[in-house]
Amino acid sequence: LNQVSNILKKHNLRNTDSRVDILSLFLNNSKALSHSDLENSLPSNFDRVTIYRTLKSFVENGILHKVPDDSGNPRYALCNTCTDHNHNHDHVHFKCEKCGNTTCIVNLNIPDFNLPKGYTTSEINILVQGICKNCN
């Protein structure tokens, strides 16, 4: 719980039940969580709107980032390498075809894309699918 309070404090967010519970779930999971994962893991007194708002404020405050998903259901994962001033989510996300878990793989270099003239990059999303180390 201390780790949770420290993160909230660092981002100037008040400790509320929903923030503490939702952040704890992310800290206890190494995988990215979707809205419905959260709904299923949280006590039933959490309504969808509260979850939605909490996720939104975590993303805005640099605690979580959105993880692309081919199903169209966004997932969220903790920001590990971000600082308040430097958000960089240009890392590889790996989705396991067996267990369905998506994990951030941050220590991989993403190649520099040579885009055609006239194109500029603002964000790179790489979703790699395969079998994760737990299922292999």
Binding site for Zn ion (CB under 5 A): 62, 65, 77, 79, 82, 87, 96, 98-99, 104, 132, 135
Instruction: Kindly tell me which of 1 and 99 has the beta carbon lying closer to Zn ion.
Output: 99
Closest-CA residue to 58 (of 43, 44, 38, 41):
38
Shortest approach of Zn ion to residue 43 CB, angstroms? 27
CB of 31 to Zn ion, least distance (A): 9
Strands lying side by side in the sheet with 92-96: 102-105, 92-96, 126-130
Residue 54 makes CB contacts below 8 A (sequence gap 6+) with 18, 19, 22
Count the residues in the chain. Answer: 136
Which CB atom, from 13 or from 46, has the smaller least distance to Zn ion? 13
Residue 62 CB, nearest approach to Zn ion (Å): 5
